């Protein structure tokens, strides 16, 4: 008898989607990670439009995951560990509202988990400033252009990948070794 796996969706924005895609595709139970845009109003945004910071969209990733292998709460733990959720509209040198820290929820359960995770991070004193991560209902997700897919894995020698993404992957290996897959 074949067992059906019911996948769930998580949508996070934590700076450049090249970084977050590279991190989350290395997690057990994550079936796919798609770079894209959420949070704006105009239909079919392009990278150039979103990069202007004027569209309301954030660079995000849509994660399809198996909740029998990894929980939404564990995904949130990884999310908060691999970016700075206390900087408004900025991650490192990437600046603008398109790089904001944001969680787009798809259910009231996800919303509650996100609120609890933020409270936990704030109470942990892990960061010297309070969390500014937005929590918003996901209305629409637009997939980014093809050349953004697997950017890190296809461009590891690029300076941005070596200087920005490599340290995130190293931190992931150090902090979450028990949930990593080999990519």
Q: Which of 16, 50, 75, 138 is catalytic?
A: 16
pLDDT class of 183 with cuts at 50, 70, 90: low
- The Cα 141–Cα 121 span in angstroms is 27
Domains of the chain: which residue ranges? Answer: 8-179
pLDDT, mean over the chain: 95
Q: Are 23 and 169 in contact (CB under 8 A)?
A: yes
- The Cα 97–Cα 31 span in angstroms is 28
Q: Are 13 and 58 in contact (CB under 8 A)?
A: yes
Question: Is 16 an active-site residue?
Answer: yes
Higher pLDDT, 182 or 53: 53
- The pLDDT tens digits of the residues spanning 84-123 come to 999 999 998 899 999 999 999 999 999 999 999 999 999 9
Give the per-residue pLDDT at 2: 64
pTM of the model: 0.95
Give the per-residue pLDDT at 4: 77
Which phi and psi (to 5°) does residue 14 adopt?
-140, 50
Give the per-residue pLDDT at 30: 98
Residue 139 has pLDDT above 80, yes or no: yes
- The Cα 149–Cα 155 span in angstroms is 11
DSSP string, the chain: -PPPP--EEEEEEES-HHHHHHHHTTBTTEEEEEEEEES-SSSS--HHHHHTT-SS-EEEEEEEE-TTTS-HHHHHHHHHHSS-TTSTTEETTEESGGG-EEEEESSHHHHHHHHHHHHHHHHHT-SSS----EEEE---EEEPPGGGTTHHHH-TTSHHIIIIIHHHHHHHHHH-GGGB---
How crowded is the C-beta side of 41, counted as CA atoms within 13 Å? Answer: 3
Tell me which of 3.40.190.80, 3.30.1060.10, 2.30.110.10, 2.60.40.10 is the CATH number of domain 8-179: 3.30.1060.10
pLDDT class of 5 with cuts at 50, 70, 90: confident
Give the per-residue pLDDT at 119: 97
Tokens of 171: 């931190």
Q: What is the mean pLDDT of residues 29-34?
A: 98
Q: What is the mean pLDDT of residues 11-34?
A: 97
């Amino acid at each position: 008898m074949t067992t059906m796996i019911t996948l769930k969706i998580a949508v996070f924005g934590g700076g450049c989607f090249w970084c977050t895609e590279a991190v989350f595709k290395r997690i057990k139970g994550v079936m796919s990670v798609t770079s894209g845009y959420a949070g704006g109003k105009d239909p079919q945004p392009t990278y150039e439009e979103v990069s202007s910071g004027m569209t309301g969209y954030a660079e995000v990733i849509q994660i399809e995951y198996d909740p029998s292998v990894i929980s939404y709460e564990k995904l949130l733990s990884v999310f908060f560990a691999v970016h700075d959720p206390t900087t408004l509209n900025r991650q490192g040198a990437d600046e603008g509202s398109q790089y904001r820290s944001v969680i787009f929820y798809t259910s009231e359960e996800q919303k509650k988990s996100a609120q609890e995770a933020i409270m936990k991070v704030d109470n942990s004193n892990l960061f010297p400033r309070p969390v500014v991560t937005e929590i918003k209902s996901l209305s629409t997700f637009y997939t980014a252009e093809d050349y953004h897919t697997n950017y890190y894995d296809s461009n590891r020698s690029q300076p941005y990948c070596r200087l920005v993404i490599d340290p995130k992957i190293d931190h992931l290996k150090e902090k979450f070794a028990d949930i990593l897959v080999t990519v």
